[in-house]
Homo-oligomer: A and B are copies of this chain.
Amino acid sequence: MAKTAIQPTREQDYPEWYQQVIKAADLAENSPVRGCMVIKPWGYSLWENMQANLDKMFKATGHTNAYFPLFIPVSYLEKEAEHVEGFAKECAVVTHSKLELNSEGKLVPAAPLEEPLIVRPTSETIIGEMYSRWVQSYRDLPILVNQWANVVRWEMRTRLFLRTAEFLWQEGHTAHATKAEAEEETQKMLRVYETFAQDYMAMPVICGRKTEGEKFPGAVDTYCIEAMMQDRKALQAGTSHFLGQNFAKASNIKYLSEAGTQEYAWTTSWGVSTRLIGGMVMTHADDNGLILPPKLAPTHIVIVPILHNEDERENVVNYCQKLKAELSQKTYAGRELQVHVDMRDMRGGDKIWSWVKKGVPLRIEVGPRDIASDSLFVARRDEDKKNSIKRSEFVDKVADILQSIQDNLFARAKKYRDENMMEISSKEDFYKYFTPKNEKKPEIHGGFAIADYDGSAEVEDMLRKDLRVTVRCIPLDGGQPKGAKCIFTGNPAKYRAIFAKSY
């Protein structure tokens, strides 16, 4: 077998492969600040493209952006009992407002705050407080606001993009006059996430509802999109919460109804984060590195001039620049084509591998012979072969080729997901499905199991303890039990759920 650009391979050591893909693509790295990552330019460009597309979708559904404080007074967090339970145990606490030299000449915290502040882990409480000031009458509703921000959760075990102490995200927070309207909003935003994941990230997802034990602290219902990674673990890629009147009561968001009565508003919140980048890596990357869906790629096409000697340079470079100029006038998926000519002073082979590892969808190699034959040597990152194509044909068809890459990535990921999803009808089969076949590779296990169960916390606790498997969601499509009984307890079945190990 040919040596791969990423060592180890997925097969050899999946978690380490993931770290190496990120490093080879120069997406991000750990910083000296515990649990905080640095998102490097290539990784941040991906985030910018995600942001731009999501933001358009949020605005198209009537939302505007705003910005709320980074800090939350501890007394606000306390207002919602489940919420404080969920977030107090790992948060960054600000206690002082200056540093002073002590008698040993060391800088130490000084000027203690009257009330400690925490760095927002999520903003329901502080935004709820503001909404309580903004809402007086039914005419002030709905409020449809989103915030792009950084948040902090003091996670003990971190992993680039998937789980970091600080991460970037968006959090939508809406308030409505009626329960039905808030529920509709929750579903609408879930579907926005589904569309974004599938149509932009080329990452198939299952829309579902979380169980009591897995929902957001303080929510009435948490909906999610769940994706399968290439180690067959699940990744929760986005959530949309119906908060009922819980936070409205905690923050006193009240309005005067048309009928003249004082009512509590109904609220929702929904978010996706830089975790999506991790999901994209683990959905598409291979043993040669990153593979980017064209709709989100910072660069669609890289052109590598191939020079055998110096006197070819001017001709080849000019040809490449002209080709770039021509391609840059084309658009794909509403964006001008981003084309880069790699003029670095290094070996052609090294250049080529660097772009393979960065996941650029299309690579064109141009040497004197290609120019002579008026053709281009084109490599699709999603396929293993290179083709010589007539220049004019390529230029004409470039948007179609990019769309075919986008479609291929989605189809391939969906096929993988569907092949690793199994309907299971006995506890024994279920346990067998999730028991590693090879003790040395505990990460190799079944995938997504679909099974009827009684909806009890006892079953969930047992599976978590025995197999480290959780209910990922009760799918919106197909969540009704097929059989009469829970496969674990024999009790009446309540749901048909998706079970998996997860990130």
Contacts and interface: CB of A to CB of B under 8 A. Distances in A.
Interface of A: 31-33, 36-41, 43-45, 47-48, 64-74, 76-78, 84, 88-100, 107-109, 116-119, 126, 129-130, 145, 149-150, 152, 154, 166, 168
Contact of A33 (B77, B126, B166): B126
A119 B70 contact: yes
A39 B69 CA distance: 9
A39 B64 contact: no
Contact of A36 (B43, B70, B109): B70
Given A31-B69, A97-B154, 10 more contacts: A32-B73, A70-B152, A71-B166, A74-B107, A84-B99, A90-B98, A91-B98, A93-B98, A93-B109, A99-B118
Contacts of A69: 31, 33, 36-38, 166
A115 to B, nearest CB: 9
Contacts of A74: 99, 107
Contacts of A96: 92-93, 95, 116
B39 A66 contact: yes
Contacts of A130: 31, 38
A482 B152 CA distance: 55
B88 A107 contact: yes
Contact of A117 (B33, B66, B97): B33
Given A45-B64, A69-B33, A119-B70, A99 B94 contact: no
Contacts of A36: 69-71
A65 B48 contact: yes
A72 B34 CA distance: 10
A150 B97 contact: no
Contact of A72 (B33, B38, B88, B108): B33
A100 B88 CA distance: 7
Given A33-B126, A38-B66, A130-B38, A98 B107 contact: no
Contacts of A149: 150
23 contacts: A31-B68, A32-B129, A33-B117, A38-B67, A41-B65, A41-B66, A44-B67, A45-B64, A48-B65, A69-B166, A74-B107, A84-B107, A88-B99, A88-B100, A89-B98, A93-B96, A93-B97, A93-B98, A93-B99, A94-B95, A94-B119, A98-B154, A149-B150
A29 to B, nearest CB: 8
A100 B90 CA distance: 10
A92 B94 contact: yes
A66 B47 CA distance: 10
A339 to B, nearest CB: 15
A32 B133 CA distance: 11
A109 B99 contact: no
Nearest to A154: B97
Contact of A109 (B43, B116, B129): B116
Contacts of A91: 97-99
Chain B CB count within 10 A is highest, among A37, A73, A98, A117, for A98
A475 to B, nearest CB: 34
B65 A40 contact: no
A66 B68 CA distance: 22
A168 B37 CA distance: 20
A87 to B, nearest CB: 9
Given A31-B126, A33-B72, A116-B109, A66 B95 contact: no
A177 to B, nearest CB: 15
Contact of A168 (B41, B67, B118): B67
A91 B98 CA distance: 5
A297 to B, nearest CB: 15
Contacts of A118: 99
Nearest to A87: B99
A152 to B, nearest CB: 7
A7 to B, nearest CB: 22
Contact of A71 (B33, B38, B117): B33
